[in-house]
Amino acid sequence: MSENRSLEIARKLVGLGKDKEAAKAYKTALNEGIEDNPGAELEAALWNLQFGDDYQVSYTVLHRLHCKGLFREEAFSIMTEAFYTPNVKDLKSHYERNCKLLKKYPYFFRDNFVPFEELPILFYPYSDNSYIPYYIAEDRFGDLIDFKEPVIRHHFFHDLENPILAKDIFSQYELEYLNDNVRDSTYVAKENHIYLHYTNWAVFCAYLQCINIRMLLEDKKFVFLIEDGVAEYPIDFKERFGIDYSKFTLRPIGIREVSRLIWHTQLSTHNGGDFFNEIFDNHPNLIVMPSLMLSNVEEVMTKIRQMLDLVKSTQDTDGFVADWDPRYVRELYLMKGRTERDFLVAYFLNDKRATAGLDYSSRIAPALFFQPHFPNIVYMAELDMKGRAALVSGQYDRIMKSPIFRNFKYIKTFTPMRRLTNSHAATVRFMLNSAKASWENPQPDGKRCVVADAVTERIMNRSFMLDPHERLYRDSVLVRFEDGKLNPTATFTALAAFLDLPYTESMTYCSEYGRKLEEGRVGMSIESVYRTYDEYANDAERYLIEYFMRDAYEYYGYDCNYYHGEEVDVERVKELIAGCTTIDGYIRQTYHPVLMEQIKDGKTLIPGKKPEESVEITLDNAQERMDKERMRTFEVLMNGLNFVNRAGQPLYMMPKLKLDAQLLERPIYH
């Protein structure tokens, strides 16, 4: 195998005494991958560490070499000298400060803290919140730990009959999540502390080097139970501490208490989203509404903010908004630094439909369940310098920039997916019916609906692919519509666990605003699983969708019915485009009256042609342009289904919800 070109350049630059330039070349060599040459990896890591500007590249290489058993002594020595020793003073100071705070805390019952020098784990800083642990007794490094990674990995709230008991939680993010979402005992008029059970005292002490304990102790919500101390759960606070929480009055939910968002994303149109809304409706721990147009929600938020800016005193808050609870208006008015999130929560809390099933006495603050809706989700792709498809979507960008989302501290995201060809055909059916309705019952604005190129839009819609660095998707899962219908118990038990909600009786039926759906509504019926809407999509259209989305079919467990793995070349794609006669026919059918309406007073679209003839020619020309655009798009995808964001970073499939096989009622749908 020939030597890596960047490595060759780096060594030549070293010989020329150009250390910084050599460091850049070594970094490039590491990024290109030289794992098959461990000696060169170590060489590059050392040079980059000494003269480069990105120490994390070297850190990662040294860690990997040690874990592989390669250059273990050298890697350990370098990592200790470069990353641990310069930070050991701060680690010790942080540890001793936490020990001091815990000694004074009333609900911590140990004081024999392990001396810093005897702690069983060393933490090597990687970034401000990230460390790699070194387990002394085992002489090994563990995996990178980001203590503030915005992911909730535990099902804390599965049982709300008793106070929360959590085991060996070291994530700063999860600890803050518990503190922020478990209501104070005085708010719910019952003992409601959070019991943290740590099974190994020395390990618990070791993690005090990294966790910020101070902010977790301020509200005095946590009770620490070490090793066998778990036998004390739950503590009788009246008997032991003289505190009788039952004497307090139940406190209404505050706007700022709602700190977590459950974002039900719109993958595409007709994907089964309404079904999931109907399942989560009436949940006792959710403030939930059916899908709302994002533009309408943003408009309401703007109006509320403008109206609130006119309020001059708390006396002016009565009747501020019709049907709003004056208490919430006053809370908003007096709130410092209020954000769009606060307005959204207040908007939902003041809608009785959204709180129809809410349990105000629950141990936890409710989450806000939100499905912002768009008329359509449209993606475009451009080929980047490396031949990958860079995906761009205006709707995606709008969500990413929305202050409504950005101001929620905790976000759980789930996306329903329906078999793509069925979802596509259902979309065409809806567009066609909407177009007919817009002619039969014209709207005041005079707008007419038409059928768009739903085949290309469906193929390009890859909103199930994630940028792993985007916070709104860091804690996300994809759930199949067919699983929800055919195996509701397994699906919604698993989804409740992912969303950290109790699986309640309200999730066993479909409802809207707290009322069960009447018989005759779709509800839990499985009929829609097998509905293929054959008159709205033909074989060529379905073939194109399956071929260009074959990776999604495989990853999410759908069998292809039209594409069977054969080679597809440009000529075959042209043939398939020409075969899109069903969607093309509906496009022409709905655009024809729009063009005819433009012809008035004997005018024509094309000089010298009769009105009807000019319309047909115009439609033919539009068809030709559309086919060329389809071909241009599909040629990009034929380079390989490798997708990146605007910055060139790879996109990954959203994880699929895993079902408990023991809860399956029917075979898994394929």
What pLDDT sits at residue 303? Answer: 86
CA distance 37 to 35: 5
- The answer to whether the bond into 234 is cis (omega within 30° of 0) is yes
CB count, 10 Å around CB of 648? 11
CB-count exposure of residue 130 (10 Å: 0-12, 13-18, 19+): middle
At residue 2, the pLDDT reads: 46
Asked whether the CA dihedral 355, 357, 363, 367 is positive or negative, the reply is: negative
Measured CA to CA, the distance from residue 152 to residue 369 in angstroms comes to: 17
What's the pLDDT score for residue 1?
Answer: 37
Beta bridge partners of 134: 122, 141
Q: Which H helix or E strand runs over 146?
A: strand 145-146
d(CA 422, CA 269): 11
For 266, the token pair is 């719109």
State the Cα angle at 532 between 488 and 265, rounded to 5°: 50
Cβ neighbour number for residue 298 with a 10 Å cutoff: 17
The sign of the dihedral angle between the CA atoms of 381, 385, 387, 388 is: negative
Q: Residue 369 pairs with which residues in a beta bridge? A: 262, 288
The model's pLDDT over 292-309, given as tens digits with 9 standing for 90+, comes to 888 888 888 888 888 888
Pair of tokens at residue 49: 């560490």
Q: Helix count (H) and strand count (E) of the chain?
A: 26, 21
Long-range Cβ contacts of 123-128 (<8 Å, 24+ apart) = 123/91, 123/206, 123/209, 123/210, 124/79, 124/80, 124/83, 124/84, 125/83, 125/84, 125/87, 126/56, 126/59, 126/83, 127/56
Domain spans of the chain, in order of start: 5-70, 85-249, 380-519+532-653
pTM of the model: 0.92
DSSP per-residue codes, 548-612: HTHHHHHHTTPPPSS--S----HHHHHHHHHT-HHHHHHHHHHHHHHHHHH--TT--SSTTS-HH
Q: Which residues of the chain have pLDDT under 50?
A: 1-2
The gap between the terminal CA atoms of the chain, to the nearest Å, is 43
With contact defined as beta carbons under 8 Å apart, do 592 and 615 qualify? yes
d(Cα 394, Cα 391) in Å, to the nearest integer? 10
Instruction: Map tokens 């401000």 to a residue.
Output: 128
pLDDT at 520: 53
Alpha helices in 52-198 (DSSP H): 55-67, 72-79, 88-104, 172-181, 185-188
Beta bridge partners of 262: 369, 412
Cβ neighbours of residue 406 under 8 Å, at least 6 residues apart?
none
| CB count in 10 Å sphere of residue 228 | 8
392 has which bridge partners?
A: 380
Q: Phi/psi at 244 (nearest 5 deg)? A: -105, 95
The separation between CA 496 and the C-alpha centre of its own chain, rounded to angstroms, equals 15
pLDDT at 601: 62
Distance in angstroms (rounded) separating the CA atoms of residues 122 and 519: 62
Which residue from 494, 493, 576, 492 is spatially nearest to 540, judged by alpha carbons? 576
